[in-house]
Structure 1
Amino acid sequence: MRQKIVAGNWKMNKNLDEAKKLIKGIKKGVKDGLNDNTRVIIAPSFVNLNTAIKRTKKSSIEVAAQNMHQSKSGAFTGEVSADMLTDIGVDIVILGHSERREYFGESDALLAEKVDAALENNLEIIFCFGELLEDRKSGNHFNVVESQLKKGLFHLKKEDFSKIVLAYEPVWAIGTGETASPEQAQEMHAFVREIMTKEYGATVANEISILYGGSVKPANAKEIFSKQDVDGGLIGGAALKAEDFLAIIKSI
């Protein structure tokens, strides 16, 4: 059975005190336990990762980094390596988020390097992909998604996918208030599972979790998560309020 996952990407939000309060609120809401097949992940900024690891240690909440550099070490001012993450107890990293692709020019080739570096350090990866509005309007969205997956991930072996979670995020629905309809989300998730089947076989395709990311809120989460191939969400803005994030978790 595929794992259900709700992951909160905090982006560049929350100072230390705010992060502590948010973690406390989430912990309080999930303290009674989750469905055995549901995972809750939070992704604070780099400066709050160590605190998050310590404060979630005796809970079911997992902690992810929002990004990492592909090199082991070196003269890369401001960057963080996979080894630095694992050394403080982080074992999940988000790679390929649309904001990294758009604002920091991260290419598919670079992301393939990051994927390799993460796997070499035994990090689980939440790999993001998705089309721009113009791609959707022109009907090119399936080609864009297939290309991103092939160039970023399809050099991997079958067994590597036990450490991969996929996250479809239509760029036009991130932080805009716009959301892909549940039917649009299901259509793309089913397409992704189909191309995974062609490349790696039905077992890998059926076992990999595919999350939806793009303006998920308590009001729409249940309907989106009810779709057959949607296994949870990568949540942005709604992950910054404990009550909203918890409502989304309960929707899965």
Structure 2
Amino acid sequence: MRPLVAGNWKMNGLDSALAELGALRQRLAQAPVPEAEIMVCPPATLLARAREVLAGSDIELGAQDCHPLVSGAHTGDISAEMLADAGATAVIVGHSERRIDHGEPDSLVNAKALAAYRAGLTAIICIGETEAQHRDGETLDVLKRQLRGSVPEEARAANTVIAYEPVWAIGSGLTPTPADVAEVHGFIRGVLSQLLGQNESGAMRLLYGGSVKPANAAELLFVPDVNGALVGGASLKADDFYAIIEVYRAGGKA
């Protein structure tokens, strides 16, 4: 399967940051990496303008969150349909920062994924354990619970991507070993097989996220059952993000 490298800008980026998107577009035009699908998820304030910058390129546009409903009296929220209207083709749901900062339970993540499907968007469903859960040996139990609660029955390889981000690795500079990542991603694939069937599980892309950067991308992205990356801080700079994407140039990841 073709790997996906998605950049999550989080709550970063003003209008001037779009110059980095333009620089990334130029780099990829000069030296394409057809082995990988590329996506950038800027804050909602930049979506419409980012669509203009990326028009005609192969870089896809994603969003960072959505409300479960189509419309209504929900001040400050954005529906999946609004994101699609602004140019997004995918939306991140269930990121640990939403789960922790806003107390979002698995049931809400599930509802947001269904909203993404309703609007024709791909749902990038995030799961991951905290440092305390990791330390206490609860990683696999936590991930199983999150998958069972967050992934809708309607999830398919064509409309869903799973992103594993150990919370203790996000922005910390710490990363699991390749062997640890392989164990966890293999486990995730197995749980998805139970939930969705072997065919859908086998075809669904599983991303790794958590302090992915140019220095460690090659060792992390070619781990078995890793089909791309959800990149945080390193996606804010075109040169760093391109360096991560470029690891696939030698032949890509099946």
Q: Which residue of the partner structure matches residue 203 of structure 1?
A: 199
SS in 1 for 2:199: helix
Residues 33 and 60 in structure 1, CA contact (< 8 A), matched pair in contact too: no
SS in 2 for 1:8: strand
Counterpart Cα distance in 1 of 2:235 and 2:168: 19
- The 1:36–1:244 alpha-carbon spacing in structure 2 relative to 1, beyond 3 Å, is closer
Q: Which residue of the partner structure matches residue 224 of structure 1?
A: 220
Counterpart Cα distance in 1 of 2:246 and 2:161: 20
Q: Which residue of the partner structure matches residue 112 of structure 2?
A: 114
Shift in Å at residue 199 of structure 1?
Answer: 2.5
Q: Which residue of the partner structure matches residue 93 of structure 1?
A: 91
Shift in Å at residue 201 of structure 1?
Answer: 2.3
Residues 168 and 211 in structure 1, CA contact (< 8 A), matched pair in contact too: yes
Matched, 1:54 2:58: no
Unaligned stretches of 5+ residues in structure 1: none
More displaced, 120-129 or 30-39? 30-39
Counterpart Cα distance in 2 of 1:3 and 1:127: 18
Q: Which residue of the partner structure matches residue 43 of structure 2?
A: 45
Letter in 2 for 1:66: Q
Letter in 1 for 2:78: V
Residues 29 and 246 in structure 1, CA contact (< 8 A), matched pair in contact too: yes
Q: 2:103 aligns with which of 102, 105, 127?
A: 105
Letter in 2 for 1:31: A
Letter in 2 for 1:204: E
Unaligned stretches of 5+ residues in structure 2: 249-254
Q: 1:22 aligns with which of 20, 23, 37?
A: 20
Residues 112 and 151 in structure 1, CA contact (< 8 A), matched pair in contact too: yes
TM-score (norm 1): 0.95
Q: Which residue of the partner structure matches residue 238 of structure 2?
A: 242
Map 1:63-78 onto structure 2 (within 5 A): 63-78=61-76
Q: Which residue of the partner structure matches residue 5 of structure 2?
A: 6
TM-score (norm 2): 0.94
Residues 157 and 205 in structure 2, CA contact (< 8 A), matched pair in contact too: no
CA deviation digits over 1:18-42, x for unaligned, max 9? 2x21111110111146444410000
Counterpart Cα distance in 1 of 2:60 and 2:116: 17
Letter in 1 for 2:40: I
Task: State the identity %.
Answer: 39
CA RMSD between the two structures = 1.3
Residues 177 and 215 in structure 1, CA contact (< 8 A), matched pair in contact too: yes
CA deviation digits over 1:190-230, x for unaligned, max 9? 11111112232221111110000000110000000111111
Shift in Å at residue 112 of structure 1?
Answer: 1.1
Q: Which residue of the partner structure matches residue 162 of structure 2?
A: 166
Residues 33 and 246 in structure 2, CA contact (< 8 A), matched pair in contact too: no
- The 1:61–1:29 alpha-carbon spacing in structure 2 relative to 1, beyond 3 Å, is same
CA deviation digits over 1:29-85, x for unaligned, max 9? 111464444100000011100011111111110000011111111111111111111
- The 1:208–1:33 alpha-carbon spacing in structure 2 relative to 1, beyond 3 Å, is farther
Q: Which residue of the partner structure matches residue 184 of structure 2?
A: 188
- The 1:204–1:33 alpha-carbon spacing in structure 2 relative to 1, beyond 3 Å, is farther
More displaced, 6-15 or 24-33? 24-33
